[in-house]
Structure 1
């Protein structure tokens, strides 16, 4: 399973989290026609940790449709513990849009098919509504 060395809790910043997510995504080996944007959404301050939420928005623009009709999202959460030693790495998981399953880097291999399935189902729904 591919993974990166995630930063320690004490060295974490929102921008470093974004950089590390991009570095991790680049290991997925997706077809280069996929493009994505990555944005920081919010910070949640909980009792024992802080969570940093990010969203990647995926599509395959083409010359015929530079603005895609459908997109797929993958949401990342980086958890910084308040109680564990700050030298430990942050914890990371991601969820694919419309799925509840949490994927952990180094434990699950990302599948390009997940993005394709979401876009295909949205496209089919749009076609159904338009008729």
Structure 2
């Protein structure tokens, strides 16, 4: 019996996008060689930004802070657009894990407003599981959530982009402008 090969949804999505793009190029009259077709699949699949969390070791709070600083400044390159402050908030624990919480507050000062009108926060949570023996302990996991959003993103697979932060900042500025127009204060 021949079973079809099971593919993750991400691979299926990449295949669909690549086939649509290649068909569109063909409709436009662009002839592609087999090598160019294979390269288009490789390029579309390589877009994922993968970060390695192996550097998160004990003490997790200190190594996580260093990892976040390096990721924000060098990998995501958010300091080209924003200034930020990274704060260690707290830690908590349950039966199987220790959690560490960080907040990165991003702002965009300008010449006309050196003190920013609004900021955008990104909340990070590091989970260090301790149900396994210390010598076999898994790598901690890290997720982030942008202020005003409910979805959490794994830092290994999702890149924080400046547009998400700009959207939060613009939303806050528009809200303050509406309040000023009402002249409540």
Which one has the bigger helix percentage?
A: 2
Moved more, 60-69 or 26-35: 26-35
Give 5+ residue unaligned stretches, structure 1.
Answer: none
Match of 1:33 among 81, 86, 99: 81
| 1:75 matched residue in structure 2 | 123
Moved more, 13-22 or 94-103: 13-22
**Distance between the aligned counterparts of 2:80 and 2:108, measured in 1?**
9
Moved more, 4-13 or 91-100: 4-13
Distance apart, 1:2 and its partner CA: 2.6
Distance apart, 1:127 and its partner CA: 0.2
> Aligned pair 1:53/2:70, yes or no?
no
Summarize the Cα distance change of 1:117–1:125 in structure 2 as closer, same or farther, 3 Å threshold. Answer: same
Match of 1:23 among 70, 73, 77: 70
1:32-76 CA-to-partner distances (Å, cap 9, x unmatched) read: 131100000000111110100000000111232111010000000
TM-score, structure 1 length as denominator?
0.90
**Distance between the aligned counterparts of 1:77 and 1:129, measured in 2?**
33
Moved more, 15-24 or 114-123: 15-24
1:105-128 CA-to-partner distances (Å, cap 9, x unmatched) read: 122222211101100010000000
Greater relative CO (CA pairs within 8 A, separation 6+): 1
TM-score, structure 2 length as denominator?
0.65
CA RMSD of aligned residues (A): 1.8
Which one has the bigger strand percentage?
A: 1
Summarize the Cα distance change of 1:19–1:10 in structure 2 as closer, same or farther, 3 Å threshold. Answer: closer
Higher CA-based Rg:
2
